[in-house]
Amino acid sequence: VLSGCGVYDGTEIHEASAVLVHLSRGGAEVQMYAPDVPQMHVIDHSKGQPAEAESRNVLVESARIARGKITSLAKLTTADHDAVIFPGGFGAAKNLSTFAVDGKDCKVNREVERVLKDFHKAGKPIGLCCISPVLAAKVLSGAEVTVGHEEEEGGKWPYAGTAGAIKELGAKHCVKEVTISFPGNFPHVDTRNKVVTTPAFMCETALHHIFDGIGAMVKNVLKLTGK
């Protein structure tokens, strides 16, 4: 499930690509979805500032990553899929929810909430990375997730405050590393809820560490499908 195209106002493209590569390597068949709604705003990624008087559609922008092969999230059903994965990027906190603005008091897009609840009820695994675990924290009562560390540690974990918000949402936050350089300490697998999370770009680190961490998340999601 995508949330646009670009880290500051949509899906983090490297994360989406990593998820797709690891799913392909795992032999999975993939269908991409996104909500057919306007973006919260549009960011000029060269400046990191909002582009005034410009508007874009989440589904249309997500099609850039999907190479055009994308479907409205309203059509996603548990009957058609064994698992669902949400890459990160600020789009998860801006377009799939209002977390970027409202924090613990956020609302989740109606279709996103439906999908999360339906997959959870069906006992089918849910994978999330970077900031997107806040979606599960809000929607799935008592879920266990990770967004990495709970302290900034000199800028290595610049979004560490997110962990506190996750706790305020009623979820359990588990401190985890981003990479396989720390055996046994990533990703987090909530076996009771079948929710698998990994920090990805919540950490300032080398791209290959993020890629490998996402691979571990995908591997665990596929394992939980029992296929």
**Closest alpha carbon to 66 in 132, 115, 26, 10:** 10
User: Residue 129 class from Cβ within 10 Å (0-12 exposed, 13-18 middle, 19+ buried)?
Assistant: buried
Name every residue whose Cβ is closer than 8 Å to that of residue 201 and which is 6 or more positions away in sequence.
7, 12, 14, 15, 88, 130, 210
Fold for 13-225, please state it.
Rossmann fold (3.40.50)
155, two tokens:
């800028």
Confidence of residue 227 (pLDDT cuts 50, 70, 90): confident
Catalytic residue among 5, 106, 129, 130: 130
**Closest alpha carbon to 9 in 160, 217, 47, 33:** 47
The residue behind tokens 């800028």 is 155
Per-residue burial over 69-83, b if 16 or more Cβ lie within 10 Å, else e, is ebeebeebebeebbb
Asked whether 73 and 35 are in contact (CB, 8 A), the reply is yes
Percent of all residues in the chain with a pLDDT value above 70, rounded to a whole number: 98
Give residue 95's pLDDT: 98
**What are the boundaries of each domain within the chain?**
13-225
> Using CA atoms, how far apart are residues 68 and 64, in angstroms rounded to an integer?
6
48-102 pLDDT, tens digit per residue, is: 999 998 999 999 999 999 999 999 999 999 999 999 999 999 999 999 999 999 9
173-214 pLDDT, tens digit per residue, is: 999 999 876 555 679 999 999 999 999 999 999 999 999 999
Provide the whole-model pTM. Answer: 0.97
Name every residue whose Cβ is closer than 8 Å to that of residue 101 and which is 6 or more positions away in sequence.
40, 94
Whether 5 is a known active-site residue: answer no
